[in-house]
Amino acid sequence: MNWFDTIRTGLEAIRAHRLRSGLTVLGILIGIAAVILTVGLGQGAQQQVKSQVEALGTNLLIISPGSSTGTGGVRGGFGSASTLTQADADALSSRVVAPDIEAVASTTQSSRTLQAGSSNWTTTVIGTQPSWLGVRARKLSSGRFLSAADQNTAATVTVLGDSTATELFGPIDPVGQTVTIGSKPFTVIGVLTASGSTGNANNDDQALIPMSTAQQRVFGGTTRSAVQTIYVQATSADTLSAAYQEAQNELLVLHGSGTAANADFTITTQDSLVTAANSVNRTLTILLAGIAAISLFVGGIGVMNIMLVSVTERVREIGLRKALGARPRVIRRQFLVEASVLGLAGGILGAAVGVIGSEVLPPLISNPITLSVPATVAALVVAAAIGLGFGVYPATRAARLAPIDALRSD
């Protein structure tokens, strides 16, 4: 019997028992959809982290105080007592010291309440330098950014993030208006465009003031001369590692730390940020996908179970076919086709459910789902293979039936 007829016979057998075939397909469908969606969830979360980190800027190094690896005498944890100063930032800005560094922006931030007329809003107030706009790759929607003059005079000027501006001033253009920061009056000189990046609303809810103003007039205490973070932009992606070295060497000298192991600061690249932030995501993805794979395996056992039942029920039919001249391998092929089609159907429908789910679910669960074409295709292949693999035992049993026993049974 040629392949076309074998396949047709297999399909007819599936159609003859629609409910049972449907339930078997359902098992595989659920397994495949689960694998596709859990992997998609994991990818979505990882993708989201990546976008958030990319929104920080390009070719960026982030220098924070405190060591993550130090073995020296006095150590601070990540972000503890600030050992970075504006002098550090100024040193790194020099083209002589660090030719591969394009720009440097130091920041210090704290939470403050802003007041404008009758509205007030608590937000993050960030003291920074004019270079911040370029280093962080942001744009203005109106007004101007902080200038060197503002820095020199510790001017009481501020640039608002888009959300903050809306909260305080509604639809009115805030430029030129007065806003109180920590009970001191500031003039709004500009508003940032909405960052438009995925999920990180903090980028739009902030107020930027000159570093000097922050240190002298707004933030008090021991942090007066200290700086919380220094953003360093390398001249290009290729020079990033060179910039890393230059920054590290310069700061080691300035801080007198000696070797890198004793550094009281940490330099982080965007890539390592992504990796660190995603390590939990990756583990979870693997775990969930593993569980989904187990459910798929169970679906495969369902295929085998149903095929065995099918063989037992159709013993007479098998006996008849053999009596008419069907060779054992032809019978085996017929049942393998049935099992494979069940698996493939489950795969296709499961993939469809996965695709639909990836569109419909994210708003409901507040998590993105990213699908990949190769993963979906692989799922289809696996589903068909599972059908085939779990069909081998039943098909072989059918092929081995002695026609006379088969015809005798009821």
Partner 1 sequence: MSAEPVPLPDTAPPVIELLDVAKTYRGGSLEVHALADANLRIERGEYVAVMGPSGSGKSTLMNILGCLDVPSAGTYLLAGQDVSAMDEDELAEVRNRRIGFVFQQFNLLPSLTAWRNVELPLAYAGVPRAQRRERAVAALQRVGLGDRLDHKPSELSGGQQGRVAVARALVGEPDLILADEPTGNLDSVSSAEVLGLFAELHQAGRTIVLITHDQDIAVAAERVIRIHDGRIAADSAAAADRPWAYGGVS
2 scored as a contact of partner 1 (CB under 8 A): yes
Q: To the nearest whole angstrom, how small is the minimum distance from the Cβ of residue 304 to partner 1?
A: 24
H or E element that contains 37:
helix 18-54
Give residue for tokens 């920061």: 181
| C-alpha span between 267 and 259 (Å, rounded) | 14
| C-alpha span between 193 and 196 (Å, rounded) | 8
Q: To the nearest whole angstrom, how small is the minimum distance from the Cβ of residue 327 to partner 1?
A: 4
224 scored as a contact of partner 1 (CB under 8 A): no
| C-alpha span between 340 and 328 (Å, rounded) | 18
Determine the 3-state secondary structure of 116 from DSSP: strand
Q: To the nearest whole angstrom, how small is the minimum distance from the Cβ of residue 323 to partner 1?
A: 6
Q: Residue 250 or 317: which CB sits closer to partner 1? A: 317
Q: To the nearest whole angstrom, how small is the minimum distance from the Cβ of residue 317 to partner 1?
A: 6
Residue 64: HSE in the Cβ half-sphere, 13 Å Cα cutoff: 14
Contacts (CB under 8 A) with partner 1, residues 385-404: 403-404
Q: To the nearest whole angstrom, how small is the minimum distance from the Cβ of residue 397 to partner 1?
A: 15
Number of residues in contact with partner 1 under rule CB under 8 A: 20
In the shown chain, the binding pattern of residues 297 to 336 toward partner 1, with x for contact by CB under 8 A and - for none, equals: -------------------xx--xxxxxxxxx-x------
In the shown chain, the binding pattern of residues 348 to 387 toward partner 1, with x for contact by CB under 8 A and - for none, equals: ----------------------------------------
When binding is defined by CB under 8 A, the residue of 16, 149, 172, 201 that contacts partner 1 is: 16
Q: Name the H helices within 207-269.
A: 211-213, 240-255
Q: Residue 119 or 409: which CB sits closer to partner 1? A: 409
11 scored as a contact of partner 1 (CB under 8 A): no
Do β-strands 119-128 and 101-116 pair in parallel, antiparallel, or remain unpaired?
antiparallel
| C-alpha span between 406 and 410 (Å, rounded) | 9
| CA-wise closest residue to 36 among 332, 302, 374 | 374
| CA-wise closest residue to 88 among 319, 212, 252, 198 | 252
Per CB under 8 A, residues contacting partner 1 are 1-2, 5, 12, 16, 316-317, 320-328, 330, 403-404, 407
